Structure 1
Amino acid sequence: MTWRDGLEIGVVALVFYRLLGFVQGRRALQILGGVVVLLAVYGLANWLQLTMIRQLLGVLFTYGFFALLIIFQPELRAALAHIGQAPVTKLFPREESVGSREDEIADAVERLSRSGVGAIIAIEREVALDEYVDSGSSLEARLTTDLLATIFTPYSPLHDGAVIVRGNQIVGAGCILPLSQGNVSSRSMGTRHRAALGLAEETDALVIVVSEETATISVAQGGELRPGITPMQVRDLVLGNPVRPAERMSERTGEWRTPKGTG
């Protein structure tokens, strides 16, 4: 026995182990059990010289392979996707859709503002926000507009706290942020704005707030709170670009428009 034989045995054993672990608890395991029973019956019929049963099972096995491909289609598709998530494939970087994060956040903020739903979204940068994630519910969810809007839906379990975004993922919801002890410029700015300002004072996070009372959008960054931000300006801030000229919402169409003379 050479080292190649040992390598082959190890690879085959690992493959079978992963396959058994994948099908465990799935419908595929029951189907595999049925196939094993048919194979046992075929072997018994062959040993007892039961010609008719052996021929019938032989025909079944001949065309059964194609039937199994159809039956196991969902499992095969999931298995291939599972292989694609293996650590080896992480060596090859995948292209991310450019602008997805800022677009999702800007759309969510605009939707929440139109609906008058309060929200606070903290975007992690260089300083990790793990201690604030631990204060709420940890998540590993892809960042989408619908998910953000759903989290802040009134009377939902997580709508009162803050959502923490790391990269293109939501890593925490219902999180508690430190309240700023400084003076807030307007009385219409409540606990959410103080929490956003408090986090911006302690970290380099970009914190977006939607007021439940006035439906206005504010941004806290670098220890400062900036009210009257538009969704397009939110997108620029998330990207780290210079803020575009102020916009106004058209009462007739409900669309954000840049006033004339502001560029």
Structure 2
Amino acid sequence: MTTILENLQFLRIGWTDLLEIVIVAFLLYRVLLVLQRTRAMQIILGLAILGSLYGLSRLLDLILIRTLLETSFQYGAIAALVVFQPELRVALARLGQSRMVRAFQRLEGSPAADDIMEAVERLSQARWGAIICVEQEVGLGEYADTGSAVDAKVTADMLSMIFNPNSPLHDGAVLIGGDRIRVAGAILPLTQATMKDRSLGTRHRAAIGLSEETDAIVVVVSEETSQISVARMGRLERNVSLERLRTLLQGVDPALKKDRSSVSNPVTQS
């Protein structure tokens, strides 16, 4: 009996082991939240089946199958980094936007909130399409090179002029930092998530795509319906009222509800 107890001593779990389990579980949970709406999830399920087959081949001593799978796994790890690069990037960005991380960040509203709201109201009434990105903690410099530098103070007139259908910059996005329009006509990354609502256009997909990679607040005005939508943290809130928009731009409501429905569908209705 003493010998058995001595052999089982390695099974004792200390507080460091529990800490490791919690950290790994949290990271896996965050990654799965991102991947479950993408093509990567289907491939992961396929890899899980191959993993089960590998375990069976070891159990039954199926040498040929085991050797083939071991070779595939060795090179597959490198291939996965290349194939899943967009999903991994989104997962890491979303990890930085988690509640735990945001708790240590100082959240401030946009100093140009009133001007943005006035411009959005005008654009909605005129049915002029627009996409306005308001920078938060994560910089948008990576996307600035895709557009034209403006560096002008944010005003409703300036935003209306940029998104006038006759303007050469109206099809791109406006990047706002502080109270300055930094860039106009910027091209944003499109989300890879499966969209259930087929009525969503390129602007909406671009807004979700940027909000997946950064913590920016992205305001979209639809030229077809004149509806106002807001994307943040990988979710799109549609049919947003001006009062709701004010709340978001002023930083009064920084956290999203993390209910089950919000995870399965990146689009919500107000």
TMscore range, shorter length: 0.5 to 0.7
Bigger mean CA offset, 228-237 vs 111-120:
228-237
* Corresponding residue of 1:79: none
CA contact (8 A) 1:189 1:211 kept: no
* Whole-angstrom CA distance in 2 between matches of 1:106 and 1:202: 24
* Corresponding residue of 1:234: 245
TM-score scaled by length of structure 2 = 0.52
Q: Structure 1, unaligned stretches of length 5 or more?
A: 1-97, 244-263
How far 1:139 sits from its partner (Å)? 1.4
- For the pair 1:126 / 2:137, whether they are aligned, the reply is yes
* Whole-angstrom CA distance in 1 between matches of 2:110 and 2:250: 8
**Residues 185, 145 of structure 1: alpha-carbon distance in 2 compared, 3 angstrom cutoff:** farther
How far 1:131 sits from its partner (Å)? 1.4
* Whole-angstrom CA distance in 2 between matches of 1:184 and 1:155: 30
Whichever residue aligns with residue 226 of structure 1, its letter is E
* Corresponding residue of 1:171: 182
**Residues 104, 198 of structure 1: alpha-carbon distance in 2 compared, 3 angstrom cutoff:** same
TM-score scaled by length of structure 1 = 0.53
The alignment's C-alpha RMSD in Å is 1.6
User: What secondary structure does 2:239 align onto?
Assistant: strand
The structure showing larger relative contact order (alpha-carbon pairs under 8 Å, at least 6 residues apart) is: 2
- For the pair 1:196 / 2:207, whether they are aligned, the reply is yes
Equivalent residue for 1:213, pick from 201, 224, 230: 224
Whichever residue aligns with residue 147 of structure 1, its letter is M
* Whole-angstrom CA distance in 2 between matches of 1:173 and 1:145: 14
Cα displacement string for residues 131-172 of structure 1 (whole angstroms, at most 9, x for unaligned residues): 111110011100000000110000211000000000000000
Cα displacement string for residues 31-63 of structure 1 (whole angstroms, at most 9, x for unaligned residues): xxxxxxxxxxxxxxxxxxxxxxxxxxxxxxxxx
* Whole-angstrom CA distance in 2 between matches of 1:191 and 1:218: 13
CA contact (8 A) 1:106 1:232 kept: no
* Whole-angstrom CA distance in 2 between matches of 1:210 and 1:99: 18
* Whole-angstrom CA distance in 2 between matches of 1:99 and 1:121: 12
* Corresponding residue of 2:166: 155
* Corresponding residue of 1:139: 150
Q: Structure 2, unaligned stretches of length 5 or more?
A: 1-108, 255-270
How far 1:220 sits from its partner (Å)? 0.4
Whichever residue aligns with residue 156 of structure 2, its letter is T
CA contact (8 A) 2:110 2:178 kept: no
How far 1:212 sits from its partner (Å)? 1.0
How far 1:240 sits from its partner (Å)? 0.8
How far 1:236 sits from its partner (Å)? 1.2
CA contact (8 A) 1:101 1:143 kept: yes
User: What secondary structure does 2:158 align onto?
Assistant: helix
* Whole-angstrom CA distance in 1 between matches of 2:253 and 2:140: 25
User: How many residue pairs get matched?
Assistant: 146
Cα displacement string for residues 94-129 of structure 1 (whole angstroms, at most 9, x for unaligned residues): xxxx98511100111111011111000000111110
CA contact (8 A) 2:125 2:226 kept: yes
Whichever residue aligns with residue 221 of structure 1, its letter is R
How far 1:181 sits from its partner (Å)? 1.0
Bigger-Rg structure (1/2) = 1
* Whole-angstrom CA distance in 2 between matches of 1:205 and 1:100: 14
User: What secondary structure does 2:136 align onto?
Assistant: coil
Whichever residue aligns with residue 181 of structure 1, its letter is Q
* Corresponding residue of 1:111: 122
- For the pair 1:222 / 2:233, whether they are aligned, the reply is yes
CA contact (8 A) 2:110 2:134 kept: no
